[in-house]
Structure 1
Amino acid sequence: MPMKSPIAVPTSTVARNALVALAVVVVGAAVYWMADILTPLAMAIFLLIMIDGVKRWIEARSSLPGHLAGAAALLVVVVGFFLSIAIIVYGARGFFDETNGVVVRIGPRIDHILADIYALLRLPATPPTASDLIARVDVGSYLALVATQAQGVVGGAIFVMIYLGFLLASQSGFRRKLVNMFPDRHARAEALEVFQRVRGGVEGYLWVQTVTGAMICAAAWVLMRAVGLQNAEFWTFVIFVVGFIPVLGGAVAGLAPPLFALVQFESYWQALVLLGGLQAILFISGNFIQPRMQGDNQNIDPVVVLLALAFWGKVWGVVGMFLSTPLAVMAMAILAEFKGSRWMAILLSGDGEPYAESGSPENEDRRRVNAPQARPD
């Protein structure tokens, strides 16, 4: 039986894919070694996109001129950013209250829970105490790590605001730079279309996560107040914030409040109600509400979301976890616009179609709607 000749692959295609793979490795190494510089810059760009979206939302629903709408959007985002940090710090103080804080009651409560577990399982041994468990853990190193992380959050927030200020100052020259980079009006319109698709993908992700997060928080707050959980407002805010972290955010939102309910209450039914109720809320949101709100720009493969979470979490820590999905959305939107990299966008997409094929009615309609209006030079 004659052997079939191998499939001929153009040398240019092999060379191009090899260069792309090499560029990915180089960029990955760069973002890892320059994490201290790039992390606050990426967060500042993320806030800049939010400010631009809020600005256009204000302009569409009010008669404010562009500069006043921009100032209002900047005030909303910056105040919200620092308010988030203040809520976290204030809520954390409640756990260390000397009279009614969680830390004061955690030792005796753990002893009681361990005794109940041993009695339920009818174990002959004497249950260990909280002091025995703590003695096996290097508490000092963990406290030092927490203090270092807290210091890093404060310092990082300052650098984020500095980067954001410079980005806002340089934003006014973006149009002039675009004109000089793309003197041809048609090429400039295409570049603006790519930019708008990237921006639309990130803004769509933020919109979906914000709306669904608000729904989850409203239901979770009612549930936590109903069972009498302390610091319900703080836990509501935590649930909203961690909702922007894929996979891990749902685990923290569904397990952290019930665990603290075990420490607060003498009985167990409050923790069980919180566990079942929060899991039901997250299940309904993740399987029914959120998929209906997601559009084509969030057609990301779940495996890619998980890999992006692992990669950016390793490279940039907690900030990378928050930005992992927006960065994946941006990457897919950019890669889908070029023939040489479209295959990577297809791999990143959930259904193999990051955007409709060129020339198809769906693609033409989308381009007609999203295409920016060309302005005079």
Structure 2
Amino acid sequence: MTMRSGIVGIWIIATGVIIALLYLGRSIFAPFAMAVFLFLVMEGFARAIHNQISFIGRTISRAIAILSVLLGFGFFIALLAQGIAQFGGQASDYEQRINELIADVYGILQMERAPTLTEIVFNETGQRFVGTIANATGDLSGDLVIILIYVAFLFIAQSAWGAKLDRLFPDAGHREQVRDVGVAARKGIETYLWTQTVISALITGLTYGTLLVLQVENALFLAALIFVLNYIPTIGSIVAAFVPLLFALVQPEVPSWIPGEGTNEGYIYAVIVFLGVSFWQFVIGNFVQPRIMGETLNLSALVVLLSLAIWGAIWGIPGMFLSAPLTVLLMILFSQSSSTRWIAILLSADGKPGDFVAEPAHNNDIITAETSAL
């Protein structure tokens, strides 16, 4: 009993130290983790190209995958720039509409004179908020450059990984088991990234069509924003449903087919846009996504939500994007040891985590690999 209490105490202390290190070193660890997952996306895409078009060599497949991902990033940044430019060109119209909304809210709450948008932005609280957003944007731009540098060095270093693994594990059996664990971890992460990409693309395509039909301004920009937000589990889909609502509320002109008069038209229009966007989020999120995610990742929905909160608190926005794949990785790693398998069982949806059966091999914690479908 005393020994077990000591082991529990060591686990608690070790967990606290690891979390503290991850939090204090988030400016280093978070960009590197993003780079690793971006590297896996490129490698997975290159592998898929090579498998489908066998006469294309791995080098050409990898070059096509890297170029495609970089073009995707460039396209998204171009959409952001176009959206900002369009909003800037109609700044006065948007400001007038926002001032009307502020006045309506103050009137409903029976408060005194409503402030204008300019007064809100340039007061002390508004300046602090704008400063925080500007700092976050600057940090994100700097991190993007660092992430791309990390990815480049990961591609350069990958050729030496096999030799290093041979020297780290001279025993052929142990080396094969470690390699199998690495393959399982890679498959789990790639599975999440690809399934989430498919789901995000499906939601984005349907949402973009809905925004076009409803005549929402800058629909392509909003669709691109929704595509990125859907990578954040649970919370991202909720935010993605409300973003078009906010933009519809401040849209200077609403379509002529909207019923109502004056400001009521804007509110009715915003509700219609919200219902149209939320419909796809609800249908795909409740019927399509659980089926795909449940069959491939085997993660408990409660665990996904908790991991979002925990990794978000440790690494901020990058932690939110990486929360699900990091949890998949932890579940696979915990399933390899008989002393930690209970954690993997709790993380899983059906109590059968990972691709490996927790049976001791050679009286140590390396687990015998058994093939099974992800």
Shorter-chain TM band:
0.7 to 0.9
Q: Structure 2 stretches of 5 or more lacking a match?
A: 255-264, 360-368
- Aligned position for 1:60: 51
Q: Matches of 2:134 and 2:284 in 1, distance apart?
A: 35
Q: Matches of 1:370 and 1:176 in 2, distance apart?
A: 28
- Aligned position for 1:34: 25
1:93 and 2:85 equivalent? yes
3-state SS, counterpart of residue 96 of structure 1: helix
Deviations 1:302-324 (A, max 9, x none): 33222222222222221111111
Q: Is the 8 A contact 2:189 2:325 kept in 1?
A: yes
How has the CA–CA distance of structure 1 residues 25 and 184 changed in structure 2, closer, same or farther, with 3 Å as cutoff? same
Q: Is the 8 A contact 2:229 2:239 kept in 1?
A: yes
- Aligned position for 1:72: 64
Work out the percentage of aligned pairs sharing the same amino acid: 32
Deviation at 1:45, TM superposition (A): 0.5
- Aligned position for 2:335: 336
Deviates more, 1:63-72 or 1:331-340: 63-72
Deviations 1:145-188 (A, max 9, x none): 22212211221111111111111111001111111222222222
Q: Is the 8 A contact 1:297 1:333 kept in 2?
A: no
Deviation at 1:221, TM superposition (A): 0.6
How has the CA–CA distance of structure 1 residues 146 and 117 changed in structure 2, closer, same or farther, with 3 Å as cutoff? closer
- Aligned position for 1:109: 97
Q: Matches of 1:32 and 1:322 in 2, distance apart?
A: 16
Q: Matches of 2:243 and 2:237 in 1, distance apart?
A: 10
Q: Matches of 1:334 and 1:124 in 2, distance apart?
A: 57
How has the CA–CA distance of structure 1 residues 323 and 22 changed in structure 2, closer, same or farther, with 3 Å as cutoff? same
1:307 and 2:306 equivalent? yes
What one-letter code is carried by the residue in structure 2 that aligns with 1:229?
A: V
How has the CA–CA distance of structure 1 residues 118 and 144 changed in structure 2, closer, same or farther, with 3 Å as cutoff? closer
Q: How does 1:121-140 map to 2 (within 5 A)?
A: 128-131=114-117, 138-140=125-127
Q: Is the 8 A contact 1:55 1:72 kept in 2?
A: yes
3-state SS, counterpart of residue 155 of structure 2: helix
How has the CA–CA distance of structure 1 residues 44 and 133 changed in structure 2, closer, same or farther, with 3 Å as cutoff? closer
1:292 and 2:291 equivalent? yes
Q: Matches of 2:85 and 2:142 in 1, distance apart?
A: 20
Deviations 1:275-296 (A, max 9, x none): 1111111111111111121245
Q: Is the 8 A contact 1:40 1:156 kept in 2?
A: yes
Task: Give the RMSD, CA atoms, in angstroms.
Answer: 2.6
What one-letter code is carried by the residue in structure 1 that aligns with 2:95?
A: G
- Aligned position for 2:166: 179
Q: Is the 8 A contact 1:242 1:253 kept in 2?
A: yes
Q: Is the 8 A contact 1:296 1:354 kept in 2?
A: no
Deviations 1:38-68 (A, max 9, x none): 1211111011111110111011011211222
Q: Is the 8 A contact 1:193 1:370 kept in 2?
A: no
Q: Structure 1 stretches of 5 or more lacking a match?
A: 1-8, 361-365, 372-377
Q: Matches of 1:36 and 1:124 in 2, distance apart?
A: 46
Deviations 1:85-114 (A, max 9, x none): 3332332232222xx2xx423332234335
Deviates more, 1:139-148 or 1:75-84: 75-84
What one-letter code is carried by the residue in structure 1 that aligns with 2:329?
A: M
Deviations 1:244-285 (A, max 9, x none): 111221122101111111111352332111111111111111
1:246 and 2:245 equivalent? no
Deviates more, 1:249-258 or 1:79-88: 79-88
- Aligned position for 1:214: 201
Q: Is the 8 A contact 1:200 1:297 kept in 2?
A: no
How has the CA–CA distance of structure 1 residues 15 and 222 changed in structure 2, closer, same or farther, with 3 Å as cutoff? same
Deviation at 1:331, TM superposition (A): 0.6
